[in-house]
Amino acid sequence: MLMRLISGDSPRSRLLTALLLVIFFGLLFAPFLFPGVRALETAARICVFILLAASYDLLLGYTGVVSFAHAMFFGMGAYGVGLASQHMGRGFGSLIFGSLAGAALAAAFALVIALFSLRVRAIFFAMITLAVASAMAVLVSQLSQITGGEDGFTFQIPRALGPANRMGEFGGINITGKILNYYVVFFVSLALFLSLLRIVNSPFGRVLQAIRENDFRAEAIGYRVVRYRIIATCISAAVAALAGSLFALWLRYVGPDTTLSFAIMLDILLMVVIGGMGTIWGAAIGATLMVLAQTYLQNLMGSAAEATAAIPLLSRLLDPDRWLLWLGVLFILSVYFFPAGIVGRLRTGR
Amino acid sequence: MTDLLQTSNLTVRFGGHVAVDAVSCSFRAGELTAIVGPNGAGKTTYFNLISGQIPASSGSVHLLGQDIGRLSPSERCRRGLGRAFQLTNLFPKLSVLENVRLAIQAHRLVRGALFSMASSHTALTDEAMAVLERVRLHAIAEQPVTELSHGNQRKLEVAMLIALDPKVYMFDEPTAGMSADEAPVVLDLIAELKADTDRTILLVEHKMDVIRTLADRIIVLHNGALVADGDPAEVIASDVVQEAYMGKELADV
């Protein structure tokens, strides 16, 4: 039963299994284990980014296609929900319509980009996606009447999911609509994550791996390589858009910096590379680590700087303002020591 | 016997160099044709033109009477043109079984291809295991290809071609680099395939003893052109072959 749920793709390493279980249960009970606004904010972010990184891995790790438009697809879902809620009024109908419209738009964009570029060469696809994503970011910031421009806009979600909806107390914690909202984000992310896991372990997923390994031979044994790449691109874009919808639902806000920016694109890339390309589990590990590092590294360094206040140079280096420097150092070290990603490293053992 | 495969005036030029020069040839069902010629004669390029890896400069390729000259390699393969490669050309990180299964899956309509587990398609797995048994690789079906010896990789290359169940088998030096005790498995298998009279087999091979025992017919390529075509014993003995392989001067002596 459990194996069917994870599509027979066991983590194949004790430590990895333990890590994944910690992440899973940590997220499942996040509102009760880590009370506090910031902790819940981080947990929701982790859910969304695990899904987003996993959908990117379908493309990068399983199909061997490099795309720079993933943040754009993510943004399409987010703006879909935002605009639908704004114009159709708050409600679950708007959320569902906005999500589906965002996903459909993302898939359609992906199809057009893929049709134009994947037929030629995979590297061409990377260039086109970069161009389209940049153009889209400019467009969104220019069309400020519709999109709110650089500032983005806030919108209202159903009352049931808002903090004002008090549903009682459990274990000393006030159960509000915010917590309900968290569980919507958690369970939809989980369901889509498991679907991705199923797709990569399906006959279709095997063909994608074959194409990544040797596209020449995949073509020679009768697979229409271009068609498979296009389908994978569309699925990946649609799931990214759904992740964006969840993120917008959680934040009750959409804006270029939280969804469309190139910084987000780089984050996704790093999550997949650090976690391990070509394994959906790697996306889960990579996304969790990245979000945690981005959220808590500054605090950690603050206390480290205090602890080493007596040592002149070291305390300056550990100053919380230098957190980006240390984040960079951590990336370089992880890519240097785990070229196959954390999951790749754990699976091969020593 | 009908013509399964036919090339007419098939030509390819790379810049000024004519690699395959107006080769016209028909291949009948139930026949094993050996293609011989010195290195650089254009044998593999001729194969590439037939299976579609390289587009022809001029001329045509017909499979079962239909012009396939403009189709993609995958389309040609689906129409019954199977090819094994001279340089081993597999999916290295996947298992032996997965490699063969992919070849079988390519020609099946798989239900629920996107949302079913690959491992739940047991019919495909059974079929793949049956193919692996024929090349004696079934015991190491779960190993990744990278861990295989060169000889076993060659066998897997052959297994993938058999798994495609094509009308036209194209073997490009299937036993190259194999040890003396490994080669017979592959050669026996080719002999078995020959017994099936619906198919035709094209075999690029250098070893004359292999050709003598297996081939029904030999064609000789030299500098891209077809210089001889006929019964193996006659062609091997003929001047053209001696000339092609040993050079004109030597043959004259």
Q: What is the pLDDT of residue B253?
A: 44
CA nearest A219: which of B170, B92, B102, B12?
Answer: B102
* Window from A118-132, B138-152, B202-216 with minimum mean pLDDT: A118-132
Could you give the percent of chain B with pLDDT greater than 90? Answer: 57
Residues 164-183 of B with CB under 8 A from A: 164
Q: Do the chains contact at B103 and A221, CB–CB below 8 Å?
A: yes
DSSP characters for A56-105? HHIIIIII----S-HHHHHHHHHHHHHHHHHHH-SSHHHHHHHHHHHHHH
Nearest to B87 by CA among B172, B159, B149: B172
Is B252's pLDDT higher than 60? Answer: no
Predicted pLDDT at B247: 63
- Measured CA to CA, the distance from residue A148 to residue A134 in angstroms comes to 18
Interface mutation vs chain B, best among A217, A223, A231, A235, most B CBs within 10 Å: A217
| Alpha carbon distances (Å) from B42 to A174, B61, B158 | 79, 16, 22
Residue B250 contacts A, CB cutoff 8 Å: no
Q: CB distance B117–A219 less than 8 Å?
A: no
Residues of A in contact with B73 (CB under 8 A): 219-220
pLDDT tens per residue, range B45-103: 999 999 999 999 999 999 999 999 999 999 999 999 999 998 878 999 999 999 999 99
Closest partner residue to B119 among A8, A204, A219, by Cβ? Answer: A8
Reply yes or no on whether the pLDDT at B6 is more than 90: yes
Torsion, CA A175, CA A180, CA A185, CA A186, rounded to 10:
60
Q: State the alpha helices, DSSP H only, in B7-146.
A: 43-51, 73-78, 96-105, 122-134
Domains of chain B and CATH, by start: 3-252 (3.40.50.300)
CB contact under 8 A, A203 and B73: no
**Which pLDDT belongs to residue A322?**
83
Question: pLDDT digits over A328-340, tens only?
Answer: 888 888 888 888 8
Residue B243 has pLDDT above 90, yes or no: no
The closest of B176, B221, B189, B169 to B46, measured between CA atoms, is B221
A3-9 average pLDDT score: 83
| Cross-chain residue pair B74–A199, CB shorter than 8 Å | no
The answer to whether B102 faces chain A, any CB pair under 8 Å, is yes
Question: Which positions in chain A touch B53 (Cβ < 8 Å)?
Answer: 216, 220
User: Cβ separation of B118 and A205 shorter than 8 Å?
Assistant: yes
Q: Which residue has the higher pLDDT, A183 or B112?
A: A183
CB pair distance less than 8 Å for A221 and B164: yes
- Which chain A residue has the Cα nearest residue B82? A221
CA-wise closest residue to A144 among A256, A262, A258 = A256
Greater confidence (B16 vs A139) lies with: A139
Confidence (pTM):
0.90
CATH number assigned to the domain comprising residue A330: 1.10.3470
Q: Does B73 touch chain A (CB under 8 A)?
A: yes
Domain count, chain A: 1
Task: Kindly state the DSSP code that residue A257 receives in the 8-state scheme.
Answer: I
> In the predicted model, what is the mean pLDDT of residues A304-326?
82
pLDDT at B248 over 70: no
Closest by CA position to B240, among listed B47, B13, B41: B41
Which amino acid would we find at residue A112? V
pLDDT surpasses 80 at B197 = no
Give the CB-side neighbour count of residue A117, counting CA atoms within 13 A: 21
Model pLDDT, residue A119: 74
Give the pLDDT mean for B191-201.
87
Mean pLDDT for chain A overall: 91
**Selected residue of A206, A229, A277 to mutate for chain B interface (largest B Cβ count, 10 A):** A206
The whole domain housing A227 covers 2-348
Residue B64 burial (CB count, 10 A)? 16
Element (H, E) at A174: strand A173-176
Say what percent of chain A tops pLDDT 90: 63
**pLDDT tens track for A133-189:** 999 999 999 999 989 889 999 999 998 898 888 888 887 788 889 999 999 999 999
Query: DSSP characters for B169-220?
Result: EEEESTTTT--TTTHHHHHHHHHHHHT-TT-EEEEE---HHHHHHH-SEEEE
Q: In chain B, what residues touch A191 (CB-CB under 8 Å)? A: none
B83 close to A (CB below 8 A): yes
Return the pLDDT at B206: 84
List of chain A residues whose C-beta atoms are within 8 Å of the C-beta of residue B72: 219, 224
Task: Please state the rounded mean pLDDT for residues A246-257.
Answer: 95
> CA-to-CA distance for B199 and B166, rounded, in angstroms?
8
- Rounded to an integer, what distance in angstroms lies between the CA atom of residue A227 and that of residue A205? 13
Per the CB < 8 Å rule, is A217 touching B89? yes
Residue of A143 and A307 predicted with greater confidence: A143
DSSP A188-235: HHHHHHHHHHHHHTSHHHHHHHHHHH-HHHHHHTT--HHHHHHHHHHH
Task: Tell whether the model's pLDDT for residue A121 goes beyond 80.
Answer: no
Over residues A22-75, the pLDDT tens digits come to 999 999 999 989 888 899 999 999 999 999 999 999 999 998 889 999 999 999
CA distance B80 to chain A (A): 10
CB atoms inside a 10 Å sphere around CB B14: 11
CA distance B120 to chain A (A): 9
B77 and A199 within 8 Å at the Cβ level: the answer is no
What is the rounded (10 degree) CA torsion for A330, A335, A340, A341? Answer: 20
Report yes or no: B49 and B61 within 8 Å, Cβ to Cβ: yes
CB contact under 8 A, A7 and B117: yes
What's the pLDDT at B111?
72
Identify which of A201, A209, A210 has the shortest CB distance to residue B117: A201
Residue predicted with more confidence, A117 or A239: A239
Backbone phi and psi for residue B170, each to the nearest 5 degrees, phi listed first: -120, 110
Are B102 and A220 inside 8 Å of each other by CB? no
**CB–CB of B35/B172 below 8 Å?**
no
pLDDT of residue A349: 67
B145 in contact with chain A, both atoms CB, cutoff 8 A: no
CB contact under 8 A, A8 and B117: yes
Check A221 against B118: CB less than 8 A apart: no
What pLDDT score was predicted for residue B162?
93
Partner A contacted by B144 (CB < 8 A): no
Does residue B94 sit at the A interface (CB-CB below 8 Å)? yes
Taking Cα atoms as reference points, which of A279, A264, A147, A257 lies closest to residue A205?
A: A279
- The residue written with tokens 């079962």 in the block is B64
Minimum-distance CB partner of A223 among B53, B101, B106: B106
Are A195 and A54 in contact by the 8 Å Cβ rule? The answer is no
Output the pLDDT for position A350: 47
CB-CB under 8 Å, B118 with A202: yes
Test B89 with A219 for CB contact under 8 angstroms: no
Q: Are A201 and A8 in contact (CB under 8 A)?
A: yes
Which residue among B94, B101, B116 sits closest to A213, beta carbon to beta carbon? B94
Identify whether the C-beta of residue A81 lies closer than 8 Å to the C-beta of residue A249. yes
Of residues A209, A216, A220, nearest to B77 (C-beta)? A220
Please report residues of A whose CB lies closer than 8 A to that of B89. 214, 216-217, 220
Query: DSSP code of A123?
Result: H
- What residues have CB less than 8 Å from A94, skipping those under 6 apart? A81, A84, A85, A88
Whole-number mean pLDDT of chain B?
Answer: 88
Angle (CA) A111-A207-A127 rounded to 5° is: 40
Lowest average pLDDT, out of A2-11, A111-120, B225-234, B238-247, goes to B238-247
pLDDT, average across residues B168-188: 89
- Judged by a CB distance cut-off of 8 A, whether residue B85 touches chain A is yes
HSE-up (13 A, CA, CB side) for residue A201:
21
Contacts of B113 in chain A (CB under 8 A): 202-204
The confidence band for B200, taking pLDDT boundaries of 50, 70 and 90, is very high
